[in-house]
Amino acid sequence: MLPFVQNIQSQAPEILLIGVACLQFLIGPFLLTEGQPVSRRLGRTWAVISLLALFGAIVIWIQSPSSASPGVVQSDSLAWFGRGVAILAGIVLVLINWDEVDDALSAEFHGVLLLLIAGVSLTAAANDLIVLFLALELVSIPTYVFLYLPRRAPASAEATTKYFFLSIVSSAITLYGFSFLYGAVGSTHLGAIHAALGHFPAAQSPSILLIAAACIVAGLSYRVTAVPFHFYAPDVFQGSHAGAGAMLSIIPKVAGFLALYRIIHFDSVDPFVRTSAESLRVWCETVFWLMAVASMIIGNVLALLQRDLKRLLAYSSIAHAGYMLVGLAAGHQRTSVGGMPALLFYLVSYGATILGVFGMLVLLKRGDRSVATIDDLAGLSQTQPAAAAVLMLLLFSLTGLPPTGGFLGKLNLLMAAWSQQTTSAEILAIVLAVNAAVAAAYYLRIVAVMYLRPAPAGVDVQASERLAAYVGIGLCVVVSVGLFFFPGPLWDVVAQFST
Amino acid sequence: MIQAVPAILVATIVIPLVAGVLLLLARWPARFARWLSLAASVATLACGIALTASYDSLPAPPSQAQSPVQPRLRFGREWLNYARGNAVPNTHDAKIHLEFQLGMDGISLSLILLTSLLTCSAVLISWSPIHDREREYYAALLVLMGALNGAFCAFDLVLFYVFFEFTLLPLFFLVGIWGGPQRREAAVKFFLYTFAGSIVTLAGLALLVMWAIQHSDIAYPFSIPELAAVLEVHRMPLSLQIGLLLAISLGFAIKVPLFPFHTWLPLAHVEAPTAGSVILAGVLLKLGAYGFLRICLPLFPDACYSIGTPLIGLLAVIGVIYGALCAYAQSDLKKLVAYSSISHLGFCMLGMFALNVEGITGSFLQIINHGLSTGALFLLVGMVYERYHTREIAQLGGIASKLPLISAAMVFTCLASMGLPGLNGFVGEFLSLVGMFKTNRPFAVVSTIGVILAALYLLSMLRRAFFGPVGPAPAHHDVGDIRRAESWAVVPLLVLCLAIGIYPKPLIDFVKPDVQALARLYDARRVEQNSQPVALSQSAAAPTTGEVRR
């Protein structure tokens, strides 16, 4: 078969998603007439089309073979995994944002969403610095629009602007790092880069390699909201719509960690000489270690102080990035519970949980405004028992309590850290445990408000009647709990990606 | 019958959990919720009794087995296999996996019976006082019961931890929703305190398992019996054992609670509804003691031997005396019983860390006895509170003249609790003290004072609240002496108190093999130390004894 055809085949899900998105952009505006109200049905049609496209992508995804290829895009098992996570997250995002966006903007909104899902899945498949950068931009540029569309309020505009500027800077830094890497190695192909670094003796490696690594790690850490690249998160989360927060808390993280894994996958080819790959790996582990500790501590401590729900979740998202970085920082020794598999397991469980939490925030309204602060949830268990129970379960998954996937996620990370038998990894395990206890305080505060406080007089909190969102949140709950009882299938997939 | 035993064991966990979830989901009337929860807890108790009846016919573990934990029955289903899909399939750790592994030995079965019995009492005592959100209330009670039973028969470290941790949730709601005026603070404090401790336990367990994987070729490192057997061959270096013992026991010490970690207990007890207090004191605290008995003692023998007795024993002695003195100073009935729990559990830990057959047996008996007598005390205090709407001893007085039956039961329970010979408290405390006397005399002598103090605070409470002049608190005369549901809740506990006091042998024989297997570990340590004091210190100092043997 021609390589070109093969490439098209291997990228079929992304091509489908981007194609449908383009159609939505192109056709959407022509169905609107100025000055006339738009029918709800039109808005929903776009959502249904998005869903169909995503389901189509799933069908192709399940059938797609996984084979490593030397081209600029891969279809290996990591690509397969990343694509699956992206598409499933996309489906949930479409469902929980059902009817949230203005019907006139529905086409653009859903088109943008499809684009960024395609971007994540392309990130997972990228095997070349340029494709990787393209894929990352395919995630971040639609994000700017996505953040602003659902709620065009001043706060939302401010959040979008903030995200826009900082994201541009981070992309620029990443690209700068890529250029240094290219300059040092002479190739943009990741396979070639890794091979070259694996042979360079460390003593002779050019110092610009370190600049390259620093820039790349900094740029990508922005996406995973690791300290010290987290400053945008609280304001952006607080300012934007809860549905956009759902996207922000998981999609950039998936893209960032997959990209990091693709690049930082240093294997020393030469066992006798200390190679550049080796020294870079040690350097990266040190940096990840520092960022993991800082993210966990700062994220959790600041989350303790928050009253605003979305701001609290932003800080908790920083803390969770810290937990996940433990997987990267823990080290490279091949053990039965590897750092990278633990990270990816945690990523999936966190993703399912946080999407559900934000989905609940989209649904819950007090009067005509959505719930904003923790106190808004007072007495939820009496007015909306089902909603309170679901939110409680998801929050306990974030805490890491059984019976939820969050518990096994934390357990795996702990075991991955201990299994390295180095002092630094042991410190990480201890910091992780202490932080899990700190985090329990603020998640429990939300649960306590929902269950132990009486509902205040006045307008009760209502959950919008919206079947699609119920389905989406239901999926999240099923995955969060299912990962506890049946973790095997997911672990079998992620266990392949040991560092 | 024997084929059905695993199914019955699973039923003791599943019946309450399923009934609890059903109660949460279905909108049944409150009356039905009460009856359903009673039926579920009685059915669970029946399952426990059926297990006890068939226990002797189960095949005994092979006598050559060296593990200090020898459950009569073990079965499991794979939960998470860390090996499959692994990039390095050929190393020995390609076998490690988690299991939903359940089992039972005499100790766990006795505790399942205790849990089921006390839950029946808790359901019965809630019959009339609870009128708010009843479905959720009974659901929380049942879920708690299921989780406790699960913890007692889990033989996979992680599964045990899961149940151990999960018990927090229903109790959090029981205290927080149906508790007294300060219920919110009490619930949050209870939850955070215990969660913080148990997450350290989790970190310790993960490290323990990882060490075992890397230093031995154990196939299933999460299994408590296998791990205990392997660690006896590949001994951990003493410093690591001590570190792990301290980390893992933190969660248990907070649950028990040992002396400096007890501050959450009085508040939680006072604010909890009666049924919550009964379960909390009767079973939940025992979960901590059970953790020590099931995990710390068999897995870290050298650490328990070298620092367990001096350190944890000392804390236990302090707990005995301090709890008793605090109890004497209380003016609130419930707080008094709460502090007396700290004192009684001190005896329990004291016996356990005597590390010999007498001590461990005494400690186990103390676990059961304290569950029965303190459970009954909380039930009775709850009845008094319901009738007088106060628990202040100064407000009460002369209850005996108005509520003779409740008062008689109270006197009986107090006698059992203070360790009057012929009642159950005596047997446990006596054996614990005898055990400790053999190991560390000063500890035993000092904690004997606790027995005297127990008589002091309980008798003076009885005198002031139940006898003497009638106090100022008005009795609500629409409620009379003990009701039928209440007597069904209390009387079985009192009968058992008497039975264990008069003839404890069947209970002791029931757990004898398990206790002996544990104590054998420490007898070996004593022999080693007496014959070759130098050799032990050397082997403990050499960090990698296990590796050398491999």
Note the pLDDT of residue A34. 76
Interchain contact A375–B (C-beta under 8 A): no
Confidence at residue B90, expressed as pLDDT on a 0 to 100 scale: 47
pLDDT confidence of residue A84: 92
State percent of chain B over pLDDT 90: 36
- Mean pLDDT of all residues belonging to chain B: 86
Range in B23-32, B246-255, B315-324 the model is least confident about: B23-32
What percent of chain A shows pLDDT beyond 70?
95
- Alpha-carbon distance of A362 to A260, in angstroms, equals 31
- Lowest average pLDDT, out of A146-160, B187-201, B369-383, goes to A146-160
**How far is Cα B268 from Cα B185, in angstroms, rounded to an integer?**
9
List of E strands, A292-435: 364-366, 369-370
pLDDT at A77: 84
Residue of A nearest to B132 (CA): A382
Given a cut of 60, whether residue B89 has pLDDT beyond it is no
Q: In Å, how far is B21's CA from the nearest CA of chain A? A: 12
Contact yes or no for A444 and B94 at CB 8 A: no
Q: How many CB atoms lie within 10 A of CB A232?
A: 20
Phi, psi of A465 (to 5 degrees): -85, 100
- Nearest CB among A338, A433, A448 relative to B176 is that of A448
> What is the rounded average pLDDT of the residues B366-393?
89
Q: Distance between CA B520 and CA A472 in Å, rounded?
A: 56
pLDDT score, position B549:
40
SS3 of A468, please? helix
Q: Report how far apart, in Å, the C-alpha atoms of B101 and of each of A126, A345, B83 are.
A: 43, 23, 18
DSSP-derived 3-state class of residue A366: strand
Query: Please, which pLDDT band fits residue B533 given cuts at 50, 70 and 90?
Result: low
Interface of A with B in 263-322 (CB under 8 A): none
CB contact under 8 A, B196 and A448: no
Of B384, B526, B525, B534, residue with least CA distance to B461: B384
Residue A402 has its nearest CB partner, among B81, B166, B191, at B166
Measured CA to CA, the distance from residue A221 to residue A228 in angstroms comes to: 8
pLDDT digits (tens, 9 = 90+) for A323-379: 999 988 886 666 778 888 899 999 999 999 999 999 999 998 887 788 888 888 888
Mutate to test the interface with A, among B210, B239, B264 (most CBs of A within 10 A): B210
Residue B481 burial (CB count, 10 A): 14
B541 — pLDDT class (breaks 50, 70, 90): very low
> Which of A415, A440, A451 is opposite residue B192, by nearest beta carbon?
A440
Helix (H) or strand (E) holding A299: helix A276-304
**Least confident piece of the model among A169-183, B201-215, B467-481:** B467-481
Q: How confident is the model at residue B547 (pLDDT cuts 50, 70, 90)?
A: very low
Rounded to a whole number of angstroms, the distance from the CA of A454 to the nearest CA of chain B is: 10
Quote the tokens at residue A208: 């610009």
| d(C-alpha B68, C-alpha A289), whole Å | 40
Which residue intervals of A149-241 are DSSP H helices? 154-185, 190-199, 208-223, 232-239
pLDDT above 90 (res A391):
yes
Pick B285 or B216 by higher pLDDT: B285
Tokens at A37, concatenated: 């109200």
Q: What is the pLDDT of residue B13?
A: 92
Among partner residues B80, B165, B184, which is closest to A491 by beta-carbon distance? Answer: B80
Token digits of residue B515: 């206790």
Look up residue B223 and give its two tokens. 């299994």
Q: What is the C-alpha separation between B165 and B202, in angstroms, rounded?
A: 10
Vertex A236, ends A346 and A17: CA angle to 5°?
A: 65
Q: Are B127 and B280 in contact (CB under 8 A)?
A: no
Greatest alpha-carbon span in chain B: 80
Kindly report, residue by residue over A87-106, the tens digit of the pLDDT. Answer: 999 999 999 988 888 888 88
pLDDT for A57-74, tens place per residue? Answer: 999 888 876 666 677 788
Q: How far apart are CA B478 and CA B457, in angstroms?
A: 31
**Residues A441, B208: contact at Cβ < 8 Å?**
no
Which of A3-17, A371-385, B143-157 has the highest mean predicted lDDT (pLDDT)?
B143-157
Separation of alpha carbons B336 and B378, rounded Å: 10
Q: What is the DSSP letter of A358?
A: H
Chain A CB contacts of B212 under 8 Å are none
Q: Which residues of B touch A432 (CB under 8 A)?
A: 203
Q: Which residue, among B493, B518, B503, B303, has the nearest Cα to B416 in the 3D structure?
A: B493
**pLDDT for A413:** 92
DSSP state of B281: I
Average predicted confidence (pLDDT) for chain A? 88
Q: Are B37 and B141 in contact (CB under 8 A)?
A: yes
Cβ atoms A306, A315 nearer than 8 A:
yes
Residue with tokens 């009775």: B380
Cβ–Cβ contact A192 with B under 8 A:
no
Strand partners, A75: A67
Measured between beta carbons, the chain A residues lying within 8 angstroms of B83 are 336
Please give the DSSP secondary-structure letter assigned to residue A102.
Answer: -
pLDDT at A493 over 90: no
Q: Where are the alpha helices (DSSP H) in B389-423?
A: 399-402, 404-418
Q: State what percent of residues in chain B have pLDDT above 70.
A: 92
Which residue in the block uniquely carries the two structure tokens 């070639």?
A192
Q: How far is A469 from chain B (nearest CA, A)?
A: 20
pLDDT at res. A483: 93
The SS3 of residue A381 is helix
Q: What is the pLDDT of residue B65?
A: 62
| pLDDT at A43 > cutoff 70 | yes
How many CB atoms are located within 10 Å of the residue B218 CB? 22
Q: Among candidates B86, B88, B101, B220, which has minimal Cα distance to A491?
A: B86
pLDDT at residue A397 in the model: 94
pLDDT of A383:
85
Residue type (1 letter), B162? V
Residue B307, C-beta contacts closer than 8 angstroms, at least 6 positions apart: B242, B245
* A403/B202 touch (CB, cutoff 8 Å), yes or no: no
The answer on pLDDT for B84 being more than 70 is no
Residues of B in contact with A419 (CB under 8 A): 210, 213-214
pLDDT of residue B126: 87
Q: Which one, of A110, A66, A67, A80, lies nearest residue A14 by Cα?
A: A80
pLDDT at B546: 41
**A276, A267 contact by CB (below 8 A):** no
Q: How far is B82 from B93, CA to CA, in rounded Å?
A: 9
CB contact under 8 Å between A402 and B165, yes or no, is yes
Flag if A440 and B183 touch (Cβ within 8 Å).
Answer: no
pLDDT digits (tens, 9 = 90+) for A167-224: 999 999 999 999 999 988 888 988 888 888 888 777 777 788 889 999 999 999 999 9
Tell me the CA distances in angstroms from A97 to A85, A110, A464, B23, one per residue in order.
18, 9, 12, 32
Q: Is the pLDDT of residue A479 over 70?
A: yes
Whether the predicted pLDDT of B152 surpasses 90 = yes
Average pLDDT rounded to a whole number, residues B485-510: 89
Question: Is B88 a residue whose pLDDT tops 70?
Answer: no
| pTM score | 0.92
Task: Work out the minimum CA distance from B306 to partner chain A, whole angstroms.
Answer: 25
Which pLDDT belongs to residue B42? Answer: 93
pLDDT at B247 over 70: yes
- What confidence category does residue B539 fall into, taking pLDDT thresholds of 50, 70 and 90? very low
Instruction: Give the pLDDT of residue A150.
Output: 80
Q: C-alpha angle A137/A141/A144, rounded to 5°?
A: 145
Mean pLDDT of the region A295-323? 94
